[in-house]
Amino acid sequence: MKNRKGFTLVELLAAMVILGLIMGIAIPNIMGVIKSNKEKTYVADAKKLLSVAEYKFRGDSKITRPSSTSNCTVMSLNYLDNGEFEKDPNGKAYNKDKSFVTITKEGSTYVFYVTLVDSKGKGVEYKKLEELDDNKASSVISERVNINFDGSNVSGKCTCSPSGCYK
């Protein structure tokens, strides 16, 4: 009887094929979960930015109040940032000049819209809180955010007076 101390080439190849199949199935699923979690992080950060802006707006009577839908108050991420928005889901910095919260007045209610943009231009584009759904994060995220705040105008949505623009 022969003493076998090891695996045959066929056994090793079979093990490699099985491992390859497992990886072929697992890696796309893992990548999908990672992408989904990053999108949910954009939405969570946008909600957090809205919350910070609303807290500051309601707590500081010196902040100019908008009078209509076409008139608004804009608070940039630069103005609002308290260190909680250091990195986007990809580990890079959010674009603090292109990320902002817009506050308009619809009837007797103040409505808050958020635009949160990463360094590559991806992010949440001019959404209300009720539009930010974690379960539909992929439909909330824009690959290229096209709305801008030029210092007084928010891409044709509204205009803020110099006293209502907080950069």
Q: Could you tell me the residue ranges of all domains in the chain?
A: 10-166
pTM, two decimal places: 0.81
Closest CA to 128 of 58, 49, 60: 49
Where b means 16+ CB within 10 Å and e means fewer, 62-83 reads ebbebeeeebbbbbbbeebeee
Q: Average the pLDDT over 76-88 and give the result.
A: 84
* Confidence bin at 55 (pLDDT 50/70/90): very high
**Model confidence pLDDT, tens digit, residues 1-42:** 566 678 889 999 999 999 999 999 999 989 988 888 888 999
More confident of the two residues 68 and 62: 62
* pLDDT number for residue 114: 93
* pLDDT number for residue 67: 82
Mean pLDDT of the chain: 87
Q: Average the pLDDT over 83-109 and give the result.
A: 88
Tokens of 61: 């009577």
* pLDDT number for residue 146: 84
Q: Is residue 90 predicted with pLDDT exceeding 80?
A: yes
